[in-house]
Amino acid sequence: MDQASIIHDLLHWLESHLDQPLSLDNVAAKSGYSKWHLQRMFKDITGQAIGSYIRARRLSKAAVALRLTARPILDVALQYRFDSQQTFTRAFKKQFAQTPAFYRRSDSWSAIGMCPPIKLSDNNLIPVEYVMQEEKQLIGVTQSYTCRLEDIFQSKTQIRTQFWKQYLGTMPVDIPPILYGLNHSRPSQEKDDEQEVFYTTALEPQHVPQGVEGHPITLQSGEYALFRYNGPPEDLQHFVMTLYGTCLPLLKLTRRKGYDIEIFHPKQGKVGDATPAVISGEYMIPIQR
């Protein structure tokens, strides 16, 4: 196995063990190489020191937990292997230029300081377009659910499909030509290790059939980062995670308050048809620059 393949496998293993002890001895034992050889090989392949990379990824994971859950800062610090809140705060401030408490309270969410996971075999940056969205009126239904941060990948995929089936199932024969999915989340008010996710299935007023229930929704005007998706429905959430985990940090963007907007362009079909093998659309994230 060549060195790039070895480091590729090691990176994948590291990503799933960031909340576990990762001394250089442990990592070297996993790789099967001496500490000296592993450090040199990792730096040659990735351009980064392995210890610094692990620390930066842990802090990035901690930053997400601070924004999306209400876990106490000390609990987040201990989860990602910092021995005290003071040590964590110093390291966090060095990477993000602000304290964990201020980072959690901020209305906007800056991606500056986030360290994306290294992916040697993939194109890390999905093409982006910057668009100005005018205020738009929609009609839809908002539903919510709670999940642990670690389970959001699987939960969001299942819930998105379930909510769309419920909403479209109330409609007459034809699927409308444009579907909107609006989503945002907040820390759960009941459990500090969970988040509450709100998802709205919506249509433009002219496409709402008579008799279909829904409430008015206003998409606020502003600038968005727009990313185009064309692929299997089950891969959409991985696409979204890549946008937040890799693209926004590389682009150094700041997410402002507002909905993430999904816009789907279904092919002609009937309500009740099987889920298409491929879906196409845009994913828009509200930003400020």
Query: Cβ(14)–Cβ(27) under 8 Å?
Result: yes
- Looking at residue 163, its pLDDT comes to 84
Identify the domain containing residue 44 by its residue range.
3-106
Among 46-60, 70-84, 231-245, 264-278, the minimum mean pLDDT is found in 264-278
DSSP symbol at 122: S
Task: State the average pLDDT over residues 125-145.
Answer: 93
- Extract the tokens encoding 144: 């919510």
CA distance 183 to 160: 10
The confidence band for 160, taking pLDDT boundaries of 50, 70 and 90, is: confident
Q: Which of 6-10, 75-79, 191-195, 214-218 has the highest mean predicted lDDT (pLDDT)?
A: 75-79
Residue with tokens 């209400």, as numbered in its chain: 70
Task: Mark whether 146 and 279 lie in a shared domain.
Answer: yes
Q: Where are the beta strands (DSSP E) in 149-249?
A: 179-187, 194-203, 215-219, 222-231
Q: Does position 181 have pLDDT exceeding 90, yes or no?
A: yes
The confidence band for 273, taking pLDDT boundaries of 50, 70 and 90, is: low
Task: Mark whether 159 and 258 lie in a shared domain.
Answer: yes
DSSP symbol at 263: E
| 259 domain residue, yes or no | yes
Task: Mark whether 174 and 47 lie in a shared domain.
Answer: no
Q: Where are the beta strands (DSSP E) in the chain?
A: 109-110, 129-133, 136-148, 179-187, 194-203, 215-219, 222-231, 254-255, 260-264, 279-288
Residue with tokens 């196409």, as numbered in its chain: 280
Report the CATH number that the domain containing residue 258 is assigned in CATH: 3.20.80.10
Q: Does position 264 have pLDDT exceeding 90, yes or no?
A: yes
Number of structural domains the chain divides into: 2
Q: Is the pTM of this model over 0.85?
A: yes
- A 10 A CB-CB count for 102 gives 12
Task: Mark whether 95 and 157 lie in a shared domain.
Answer: no
DSSP symbol at 208: S
173-192 burial, b at 16+ Cβ within 10 Å, e below that, comes to eebbeebbbbbebebbeeee
- Extract the tokens encoding 172: 């007459």
Task: Mark whether 229 and 162 lie in a shared domain.
Answer: yes
Kindly give the residue spans of alpha helices, DSSP state H, lying in the chain: 3-15, 24-31, 35-46, 50-68, 73-79, 85-96, 100-105, 152-168, 236-242, 248-251
Task: Mark whether 178 and 143 lie in a shared domain.
Answer: yes
Task: State the average pLDDT over residues 164-185.
Answer: 80
Task: State the average pLDDT over residues 112-136.
Answer: 88
CA distance 190 to 139: 29
Task: Mark whether 139 and 196 lie in a shared domain.
Answer: yes
Task: Mark whether 145 and 274 lie in a shared domain.
Answer: yes
Dump pLDDT digits (tens) for 52-111: 999 999 999 999 999 999 999 999 999 999 999 999 999 999 999 999 999 999 999 999
